[in-house]
Amino acid sequence: MTERRDQALDVLKNLLIALPGLTADIFYQALRDGGFSEDEAVKLTGSCIRTASARNWMVKTTFSKNSQRNHSNLQNIWRSKLYADGEISKKLVTSWQKRGFVVPIDEVALWDSLQVLKSR
C-alpha cells in the first residue's frame, strides 16, 4: 500500500498546485478518476490529507460544506499553500461538477480576505 499511498500523495500534490482549495470529496474523486479502487480511495483520502497538512502543503480554513459522498458529514475546506494556478483539465472539473463535486474557489477567496483583515 506504500506505493499506492505515494501515488495518492502525488495526485493530491498536483491538485494543490492546480487548485486554490479543495475538499476531501474533490481529492477522493480525483483518486477514483485516476484509477484507484473505491476501497483504496476511501482508505487513502483522510491519511493523505493529514500528511499534506503536516507537510504544510495546505491549511484548514474555518469553512466547511456538506459532503456529496456522505451527506450526513461536514467536510473541511482546505486552502492550498502550493497553488500556482496550475493547469487542470476543464473536462475533469466539469465531470466533477456534474456529479455534485464543486471546487471551493469562492470560499477560499473569502477565507484569504478574512486572513488579510485579521492581520491588520
pLDDT reported for residue 14: 92
pLDDT reported for residue 87: 65
**What is the secondary structure of 24-87 as a DSSP string?**
HHHHHHHHHHTT--HHHHHHHHHHHHHHHHHTTSEEEEEEEEE-SSSTT-EEEEEEESS-----
Residues in the chain with pLDDT values less than 70: 1, 85-89
pLDDT digits (tens, 9 = 90+) for 19-44: 899 999 999 999 999 999 999 999 99
Domains of the chain: 2-119 (1.10.10)
